[in-house]
């Protein structure tokens, strides 16, 4: 990451200014924002209880009573889609809360101290980076058992390396800057320096990366659900809903179709956000 880009991202104010100019960012953030709002007010907007079964209304197509039809238990698909925002957002926020701080901490320490610390940490990071993270996440959940927390943990422990690399590069660049020299001259050292003064400077770029990563996370989390490694029944989760619709895909296609669209939209939202943010950070990669 170039110094110029770092300098540009020193404060959030330019981000907001650019947001108005970047339709991708605006559209992406609105989608993500809307999904978050839906998750928060799910009980208010969902027409039915997402786990309420009506065996006599199984696999109904779209109707006035059930806008998106019903699934194999006669549950309202729309309500399940609405409640399905919750586990998805919960998993990806858990992942974000674990992976970004972990990666940034390793990166800052490596970048700031350099030398042997840097070499050991970066070797470790490179190794973790070359792992197939999807497969490892699957193996992790498969071995430890399905569930929301295991799924989030699996994704987090395999996704931190890029944050470490990025934070390290930025920290190294910053070390050489006048700002850092003056801070150090004031006698600020150790953790206070790292987390009080280096961290805020590394943070904005980590956010961009996170937006980009979260799109992938939405897909992987749904994939875990699809393979039956995500949340436990009867919790509505989009990936699991697609899996539930698979046996009837050739006749009642809508059961699997709409949760897939939901995954696509949320993932697209994060991707648009990331795209917009990247335009702002570095127009070359638009």
Partner 1 sequence: MTFRWTFAASLLGSVALISVPAGAATPPDVLVVAQSIDDAVSFDPAEGYELTPFQTFNNVYQRLIESSEADPTKIVGALAESWDVAADGKSITFKLKPGAAFVSGNPVRPEDVVYSFVRAVKLGKTPVFILQELGWKPDNIEALVTKVDDSHVKVGWAADVGSNFALAILTAPISSVVDGKEVAAHASNGDFGNAWLKTVSAGSGQFKLTRFVPHEALILEANPKSPAGAPKLKSVILKNVADAAARRLLVEQGDADIARELGADQIASLAGKPGITVKETPSAQQDYIIFNSASKSVPALSNPAFWEAARYLVDYDGLANKLLKGQYTIHQTFLPVGFPGAIDDKPFALDPAKAKAILAKAGLTDIKFKLTVSNQPPFTDIAQALQSSFALGGVAIEVEPVVNSELYGKLRSRSYDASALYWFPDYFDANTNASAFAFGTGDDGPHTVAWRAGWNTPDISAKTHSAIVEQDPAKRAVLYANIQKAVEASSPFVFMLQAKEQIVLSNKVKNYVQGITPDQIYYGQVEKK
Partner 2 sequence: MTLVASSIVYRRRSWMLAAGVGLLRWLGSIAIGLAGLILVTFIFAHLSPVDPVIKVVGDKATPETYAAARLALGLDQPLLLQFGSYAGRVLTGDFGNAWSTGQPVVNDLLRAFPATFELATVAIVMGAIAGVGLGLIAGLWPGGWRDATVRVVSLLGYSVPIFWLGLLALLLFYARLHWFGGPGRQDVTYELMTTHVTGLMLIDTWLSGDSAAFRDAVSHIGLPALVLAFYSTAGIARLTRAAILEELHKEYVTTARAKGASQARIVIRHILPNIRAAIITVIALAYAVLLEGAVFTETVFAWPGIGRYLTISLFASDVPAILGGTLVIGVCFITLNTLTDFIVGGLDPRLKP
Q: Which is nearer to partner 1, 92 or 148 (CB)?
A: 148
284 makes contact, choosing from partner 1, partner 2, none, with CB < 5 to 8 Å by partner type, with: partner 2
Among 152, 222, 277, 280, binds partner 2 (CB under 8 A): 222
Among 135, 149, 181, 232, binds partner 2 (CB under 8 A): 135
Kindly write out the interface string for residues 38-67 of this chain, putting x where it contacts partner 1 by CB under 8 A and - elsewhere: -------------xxx-xx-xx--------
Q: Which is nearer to partner 1, 222 or 236 (CB)?
A: 236
Residue 190 binds partner 2, judged by CB under 8 A: no
Residue 207 binds partner 2, judged by CB under 8 A: no
Kindly write out the interface string for residues 64-103 of this chain, putting x where it contacts partner 1 by CB under 8 A and - elsewhere: --------xx------------------------------
Among 44, 130, 176, 186, binds partner 2 (CB under 8 A): 130
Residue 63: partners with Cβ closer than 8 Å, 6 or more residues away: 69
Residue 120 binds partner 1, judged by CB under 8 A: no
Tell me 250's DSSP state: T
Residue 253 binds partner 2, judged by CB under 8 A: yes
The DSSP annotation for the chain comes to: --HHHHHHTTSSHHHHHHHHH-HHHHHHHHHHHHHHHHHHTHHHH-SS-TT---GGGTT--S-SSSTT-B-TTS-BHHHHHHHHHHHHHHHHHHHHHHHHHHHHHHHHHHHHH-HHHHHHHHHHHHHHHTS-HHHHHHHHHHHH--SHHHHHHHHHHHH-HHHHHHHHHHHHHHHTSHHHHHHHHTT--HHHHIIIIIHHHHHHHHHHHHHHHHHHHHHHHHHHHHTT-SSPTTS--HHHHHHHHGGGTTT-THHHHHHHHHHHHHHHHHHHHHHHHHHHH-GGG-
- Integer Cα distance of 192 and 199 in angstroms: 10
Residue 108 binds partner 2, judged by CB under 8 A: no
Of 217, 257, 250, 231, nearest to 81 (Cα)? 257
Q: Which is nearer to partner 1, 72 or 260 (CB)?
A: 72
Find the part of the chain contacting partner 2 (CB under 8 A) among 13-21, 40-48, 97-105, 219-227.
219-227
Residue 247 binds partner 1, judged by CB under 8 A: yes
Which residues make beta-bridge pairs with 76?
70
- Integer Cα distance of 281 and 275 in angstroms: 10
Residue 178 binds partner 1, judged by CB under 8 A: no
Which residues make beta-bridge pairs with 70?
76
Residue 271 binds partner 2, judged by CB under 8 A: yes
Find the part of the chain contacting partner 1 (CB under 8 A) among 83-91, 192-200, 210-218, 242-250.
242-250
53 makes contact, choosing from partner 2, partner 1, none, with CB < 5 to 8 Å by partner type, with: partner 1
Paired tokens of 243:
């899996």
Tell me which residues touch partner 1 (CB under 8 A): 51-53, 55-56, 58-59, 72-73, 145-146, 228, 232-234, 246-252
Tell me which residues touch partner 2 (CB under 8 A): 1, 123, 126-136, 138-140, 142-145, 162, 165-166, 169, 215-216, 219, 222-223, 226-229, 239, 242, 246, 249-250, 253, 256-257, 259-260, 263-264, 267-268, 271-272, 275, 282, 284-285
């Amino acid at each position: 990451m170039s110094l110029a880009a770092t300098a540009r991202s020193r404060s959030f104010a330019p981000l907001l200014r650019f947001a108005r100019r970047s339709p991708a960012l605006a559209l992406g953030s609105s989608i993500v924002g809307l999904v978050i709002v839906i998750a928060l007010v799910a009980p208010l907007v969902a027409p039915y209880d997402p786990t309420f079964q009506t065996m006599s209304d199984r696999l109904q197509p779209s109707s006035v009573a059930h806008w998106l039809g019903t699934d194999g238990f006669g549950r309202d698909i729309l309500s399940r889609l609405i409640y399905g925002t919750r586990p998805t957002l919960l998993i990806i926020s858990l992942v974000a809360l674990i992976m970004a701080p972990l990666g940034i901490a390793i990166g800052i320490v490596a970048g700031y101290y350099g030398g042997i610390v840097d070499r050991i940490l970066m070797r470790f990071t490179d190794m973790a980076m070359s792992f197939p993270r999807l497969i490892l996440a699957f193996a992790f959940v498969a071995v430890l058992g399905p569930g929301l927390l295991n799924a989030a943990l699996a994704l987090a422990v395999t996704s931190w390396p890029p944050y470490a690399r990025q934070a390290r590069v930025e920290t190294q660049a910053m070390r050489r800057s006048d700002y850092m020299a003056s801070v150090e001259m004031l006698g600020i050292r150790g953790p206070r320096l790292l987390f009080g003064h280096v961290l805020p400077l590394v943070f904005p770029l980590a956010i961009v990366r996170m937006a980009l990563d979260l799109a992938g996370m939405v897909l992987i989390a749904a994939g875990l659900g699809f393979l039956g490694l995500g949340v436990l029944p009867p919790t509505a989760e989009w990936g699991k809903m697609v899996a539930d619709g698979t046996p009837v895909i050739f006749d009642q296609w809508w059961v699997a179709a709409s949760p897939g669209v939901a995954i696509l939209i949320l993932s697209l939202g994060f991707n648009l956000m990331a795209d917009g943010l990247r335009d702002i950070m570095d127009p070359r990669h638009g």
